[in-house]
């Protein structure tokens, strides 16, 4: 032991030992009535919580110290965890008197819980309608195993995917914390760097440790019963996650009953940009839920239903049968208004069964939690009654899954007071008559004052001292107080304990006997109540699996009634679902925008027809603010709503099953990753072309705007051709653009059709009609929109002049296999002729003013121009040639 260690106080040596066992955490060290932090933890806590930083004399050193009262734990702990810190709570696990009797200078302390962003049971850290996941990831070559769990509900799942699909999976579950091995500390993938990451020891991922940990927890010989036996990479991630949960919770995890395989093939694929652009659960601008799809759809009455709804929105179904089951159930609830309204009233009385049973299982519940569980279970028969007459298959299935658990309700009802205290250690939990021993102890405790009063009366009569008093303090316990005026009357068997100015205090053997009986009965009563509560808690925890199944059934019922309620209130229609290639929407509306319009302003509905063999690609032109983006997004949302089993905002809708939805909408950059706006745009476009199928839906908005006009037009043109010509990716596509040249595509390709969003121009002003009609727009009205925005008139007039000049030099383009359009041909031929007529030596002499010899690159361009044939060039090749000639002129100046 070093001299420095020897000089530390026993308390600080104990602190250091515990801190060393829990690296990477803030250690809240219980000292009496305070939680204290020391050294670096103290400086961090002082900064994060705004509490005073002081010093503690630690064997001569002045150690930084910061603390707060123990009763403020629920206030300060959530603040630390919300800032991304892991916090270990270290409690005194024995009474100080026990340590003193054993000859020890410090009491025994242990870490009883580690709270992290992803692993917590604290109500102040959990959102009622949102899961709180911790996820673990393990890579093996091109395969990734991902496991995720919500310890507050008992959900535990794993998935094995290609390494490129990890980000999409994580966006579906939005984990609060991600676990990686320490070996990846300096090699964290870019897509994970914005997440809250915790690194755990490498050995946790090695050998059969994780597999054995899982089989030990679930008490099985293998994982075959869960259908995950062959997911070897995912098993490693799941084992690491289970290890982390066990290390942090330090309690029974009996509520984690099942290991589920998260089957990606069951759900529609939504990449990150699609979830973001469609604003499913988070708005692009504010990051909250306002203006999102879930803000419209969530009319759930329970916390479980709210959480399940988020999952349904982020994971639409892609098989016809389960979608139709949901839609039929929604229809039954939609048309039966009384049943739906009564059902909603009963559901509102149900507590969060998933989190209640989880707290009960891990030993963090109180008597009020048990009462809430009882009251919630009592709602089940009332809930079943509300839709018992709706003979619908899915609702019947849910009704069958709603077990009553009468024995649990009766056990709690017999035991717990109607309004029990919050603490489980202060007594007052159980009803009289529940336990004979407890009744006897309570009788002594309750009648103690009567015993004392009786003794006082007897002593007063015996001694003749009418002013005699009996008091109590922590030093002497019960005592007899006699004023000095009457101290001659004090009997000999009174034992003097204290002399005061005007009185004397005494005790008697009889008084001490009564005192011991009274005081011990109070303590024994509290201890017995805690033991009885633990016994009841363990009994209830045995029904965790049944309670969880009831909670899941109620959550599903709640989501279905929410769909029905929202659909009824907002005049949605039931979509016709089919395994075909047709999307046909009549008078479709944007579910969010229609609710946010100013009073009196109607939403203009629009029709959309898409099918792979006819109108596969719709080129949609029109000015800014006309509503092109809204039409794209509402189409995507209508398809998504249909495939989560909800009615849709339209007069009528036929939805052919879609396997994926892709969006390329808006302009943004990723400066942290060194990606420009255009690079982000191209990354998203590449993702679409590499992953789309014939059964996908693609929504493209202004592709190519992040670069020059020629480059952007070329890319947009080529992308549209590719989506049309490549059978494997010939998906149904809405393509909104300002490049009016793309209207030419309709004349070249069988499955491309032009549409535009109508506007009217009056006295130089633009009137937006918001109506999608057949045919292409001829210009974008950008200057008129700029005028509406308030640009100075001199800027507007100059812009009109420039536009007029630019439009006089416009290009005409035809298809990729045919002849170059007349306008482009003439310009290319003229350029070629001018180059041929120019004397090559004269070029060199002119350029020698700036350089001694002809740039080899210019020679190459001239050679390329001479070798070109305008009659055989594609539109893209023609535009590239013009661009190269322009660069030649600029470099020659």
Q: How far is residue 496's CA from residue 610's CA, in Å, rounded to a whole number?
A: 101
Rounded Cα distance, 16 and 13, in Å? 5
CA separation for the pair 684, 323 (Å, rounded) = 29
Burial class of residue 690, CB neighbours in 10 A (0-12, 13-18, 19+)? exposed
3-class DSSP assignment, residue 470: strand
> Is 277 labelled as part of a ligand binding site?
no
In 278-418, which ranges are continuous DSSP H helix?
A: 293-297, 303-314, 320-335, 337-347, 353-362, 367-378, 380-386, 393-401, 406-415
Q: Is 623 annotated as a binding residue?
A: yes
Q: Which DSSP category does 65 fall into?
A: E
Q: Measuring CA to CA, how many Å separate 321 from each of 331, 391, 886? A: 15, 18, 59
Q: H or E element: which one contains 633?
A: helix 628-643
- Using CA atoms of 737, 725, 878, 709 in order, give the dihedral in degrees to the nearest 10: 20
Are the beta carbons of 573 and 652 closer than 8 angstroms? yes
Parallel, antiparallel or unpaired: strands 752-762 and 197-200: unpaired
- Structural contact between residues 581 and 612, judged by C-beta atoms closer than 8 angstroms: yes
As a whole number of angstroms, the distance between CA 462 and CA 465 comes to 8
Using CA atoms, how far apart are residues 11 and 201, in angstroms rounded to an integer? 29
- Which residues in 134-151 are b (16+ Cβ under 10 Å) and which e? bbbbbbeeeebbbbbbbb
Q: Is 334 annotated as a binding residue?
A: no
**Residue 628 assigned as binding residue:** yes
Q: How many CB atoms lie within 10 A of CB 523?
A: 12
CB burial string 333-370: b at 16+ within 10 A, e below: bbebeebbebbbebbeebbbbbbbbbbbbbbbbbbebb
- 625 annotated ligand-binding residue: yes
Round to whole Å and give the CA distance between 381 and 701.
51
Q: Let me know: does 620 contact 736? Beta carbons within 8 Å.
A: yes
Q: Cα–Cα distance between 560 and 393 in angstroms, integer?
A: 13
Q: What is the C-alpha separation between 378 and 383, in angstroms, rounded?
A: 9
- Give alpha helix (H) positions in 542-627: 544-570, 593-596
The number of residues making up the chain comes to: 893
Residues 458 and 446 sit within 8 Å (Cβ to Cβ): no
CB atoms within 10 A of CB 448: 18
Q: Print the SS3 string covering 306-347.
A: HHHHHHHHHCCECCHHHHHHHHHHHHHHHHCHHHHHHHHHHH
Q: How many CB atoms lie within 10 A of CB 765?
A: 11
With contact defined as beta carbons under 8 Å apart, do 186 and 215 qualify?
no
Residues 359, 370: Cα–Cα separation, whole Å: 10
Percentages helix, strand, coil for the chain (3-state, rounded to 5) are 50, 20, 30
Whether 804 has a binding-site annotation, put simply, is no
Contact yes or no for 678/703 (Cβ under 8 A): no
Please indicate if the annotation marks 141 as binding a ligand.
Answer: no
**In sequence order, what are the beta bridge partners of 144?**
139, 161
624 is an annotated ligand-binding site residue? yes
- How many whole angstroms separate alpha carbon 681 and alpha carbon 665? 9
* Pairwise CA distance, residues 612 & 615, whole Å: 6
Question: Where is the binding site for ATP, in residues?
Answer: 622-629
Question: Where is the binding site, in residues?
Answer: 622-629
């Amino acid at each position: 032991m070093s001299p420095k260690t020897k000089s530390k106080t026993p308390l600080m040596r104990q602190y250091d030992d515990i801190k060393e066992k829990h690296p990477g955490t803030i250690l809240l060290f219980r000292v009496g009535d305070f939680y204290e932090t020391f050294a670096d933890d103290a400086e961090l806590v002082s900064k994060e919580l705004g509490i005073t930083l002081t010093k503690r004399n630690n064997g001569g050193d002045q150690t930084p110290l910061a603390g707060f009262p123990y009763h403020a734990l629920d206030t300060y702990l959530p603040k630390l965890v919300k800032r991304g810190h892991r916090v270990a709570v270290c409690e005194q696990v024995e009474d100080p008197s026990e340590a003193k009797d054993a000859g020890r200078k410090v009491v025994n302390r242990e870490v009883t819980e580690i709270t992290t962003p992803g692993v917590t049971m604290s109500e102040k850290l959990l959102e009622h309608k949102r899961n709180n996941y911790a996820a673990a990831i393990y890579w093996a070559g091109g395969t990734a195993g991902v496991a995720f769990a919500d310890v507050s509900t008992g959900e535990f799942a794993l998935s094995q995917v290609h390494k490129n699909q990890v980000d999409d999976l994580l966006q579906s579950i939005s984990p609060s914390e991600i676990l990686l091995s320490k070996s990846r500390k300096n090699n964290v993938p870019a897509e994970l760097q914005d997440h809250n990451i915790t690194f755990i020891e490498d050995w946790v991922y090695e050998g059969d440790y994780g597999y054995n940990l899982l089989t030990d927890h679930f008490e099985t010989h293998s994982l075959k019963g869960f259908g995950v036996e062959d997911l070897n990479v995912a098993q490693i991630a799941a084992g690491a996650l289970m290890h982390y949960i066990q290390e942090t919770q330090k309690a029974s995890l009996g509520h984690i009953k099942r290991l589920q395989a998260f089957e990606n093939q069951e759900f529609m694929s939504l990449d990150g940009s699609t979830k973001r652009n469609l604003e499913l659960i988070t708005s692009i601008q504010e990051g909250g839920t306002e203006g999102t799809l879930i803000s419209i759809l969530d009319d759930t009455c329970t916390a479980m239903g709210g959480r399940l709804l988020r999952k349904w929105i982020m994971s639409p179904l892609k098989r016809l049968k389960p979608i139709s089951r949901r839609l039929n159930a929604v229809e039954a609830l939609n048309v039966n208004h009384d049943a739906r309204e009564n059902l909603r009233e009963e559901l509102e009385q149900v507590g969060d069964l998933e989190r209640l049973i989880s707290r009960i299982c891990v030993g963090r519940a109180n008597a009020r939690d048990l009462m809430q569980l009882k009251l919630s279970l009592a709602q089940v028969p009332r809930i079943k009654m509300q839709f018992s007459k709706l003979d619908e298959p899915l609702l019947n299935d849910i009704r069958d899954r709603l077990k009553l658990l009468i024995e649990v309700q009766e056990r709690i009802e017999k035991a717990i007071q109607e309004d029990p205290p919050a603490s489980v250690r202060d007594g007052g939990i159980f009803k009289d008559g529940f336990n004979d021993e407890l009744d006897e102890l309570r009788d002594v405790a309750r009648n103690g004052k009567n015993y004392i009063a009786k003794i006082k009366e007897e002593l007063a009569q015996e001694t003749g001292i009418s002013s005699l008093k009996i008091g109590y303090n922590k030093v002497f316990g019960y005592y007899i107080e006699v004023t000095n005026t009457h101290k001659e009357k004090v009997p000999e068997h009174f034992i003097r304990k204290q002399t005061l100015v005007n009185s004397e205090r005494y005790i008697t053997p009889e008084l001490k006997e009564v005192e011991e009986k009274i005081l011990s009965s109070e303590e024994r009563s509290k201890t017995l109540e805690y033991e009885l509560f633990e016994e009841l808690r363990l009994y209830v925890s045995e029904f965790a699996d049944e309670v969880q199944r009831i909670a899941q059934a109620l959550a599903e019922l709640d989501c279905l009634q929410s769909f029905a309620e929202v659909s009824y209130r907002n005049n949605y229609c039931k979509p016709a679902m089919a395994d075909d290639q047709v999307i046909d929407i009549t008078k479709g509306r944007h579910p969010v925008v229609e609710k946010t319009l100013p009073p009196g302003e109607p939403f203009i509905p629009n029709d959309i027809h898409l099918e792979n063999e006819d109108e596969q690609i719709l080129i949609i032109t029109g000015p800014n603010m006309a509503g092109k983006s809204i039409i794209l997004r509402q189409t995507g949302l209508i398809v998504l709503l249909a495939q989560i089993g909800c009615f849709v905002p339209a007069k009528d809708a036929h939805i052919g099953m879609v396997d994926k939805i892709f969006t390329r909408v808006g302009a943004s950059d990723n400066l942290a990753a060194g990606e420009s706006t255009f690079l982000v745009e191209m990354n998203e476009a590449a993702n679409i072309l590499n992953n789309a199928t014939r059964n996908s839906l693609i929504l493209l908005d202004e592709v190519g705007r992040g670069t020059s006009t020629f480059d952007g037009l070329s890319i947009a043109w080529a992308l549209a051709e590719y989506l049309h010509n490549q059978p494997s990716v010939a998906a149904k596509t809405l393509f909104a653009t300002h490049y009016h040249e793309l209207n030419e595509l309709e004349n070249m390709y069988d499955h491309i059709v032009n549409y535009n969003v109508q506007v009217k121009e009056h006295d130089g002003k633009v009137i937006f009609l918001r109506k999608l009609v057949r045919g292409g727009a001829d210009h974008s009205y950008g200057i008129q929109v700029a005028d509406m925005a308030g640009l100075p008139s001199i800027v507007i007039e100059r812009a009109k002049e420039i536009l007029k000049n630019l439009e006089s030099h416009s290009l005409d383009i035809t298809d990729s296999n045919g002849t170059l359009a007349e306008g482009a041909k003439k310009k290319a031929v003229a350029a070629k002729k001018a180059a041929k007529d120019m004397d090559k030596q004269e070029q060199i002499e002119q350029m020698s003013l700036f350089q001694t010899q002809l740039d080899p690159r210019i020679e190459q361009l001239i050679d390329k121009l001479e070798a070109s044939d305008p009659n055989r060039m594609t539109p893209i090749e023609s535009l590239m040639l013009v661009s190269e000639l322009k660069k030649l002129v600029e470099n020659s100046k």
